[in-house]
């Protein structure tokens, strides 16, 4: 099986920390992402295991990146919004087999069309 050219990074953080996640990701080459609002369902055992208080309101940041920068993006997110920060983020990636709708880093300006002679 061929290796995936793209990876989907998902980061679950406390509400209000999605901008920190995106800023960190963009610093190492990510171009953008999508934020979903969510609600966590962790129990007391999880809070005791991780030694943190889990807030139920969450944001899920989805970032599609080139596979070559996946590790850099994950490390940047961990440093800025990981479990030991106020964002209490957990991030992971999944390979993406097919992608449509991506454009070049900087789209070329459209050439002006020559007026047609009649």
Strand 57-66 versus strand 6-14 pairing type: antiparallel
pLDDT at position 42 over 60: yes
pTM summary value: 0.76
Q: Which tokens in the block code for residue 45?
A: 């055992």
Q: Whose CA is closest to 10, among 61, 80, 67, 81?
A: 61
Residue-wise pLDDT tens digits, 9-38: 999 999 999 999 999 999 999 999 999 999
């Amino acid at each position: 099986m061929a290796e995936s050219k793209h990876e989907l990074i998902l980061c679950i953080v406390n509400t209000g920390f999605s901008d920190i996640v995106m800023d960190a990701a963009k610093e190492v080459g990510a171009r953008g992402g999508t934020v979903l609002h969510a609600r966590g369902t962790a129990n007391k055992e999880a809070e005791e295991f991780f030694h943190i208080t889990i807030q139920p309101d969450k944001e899920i940041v989805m970032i599609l990146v080139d596979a070559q920068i996946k590790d850099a993006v994950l490390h940047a997110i961990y440093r800025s919004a990981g479990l030991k920060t106020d964002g209490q983020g957990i991030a992971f990636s999944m390979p993406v087999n097919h992608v449509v709708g991506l454009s070049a880093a900087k789209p070329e300006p459209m050439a002006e069309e020559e007026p047609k002679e009649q």
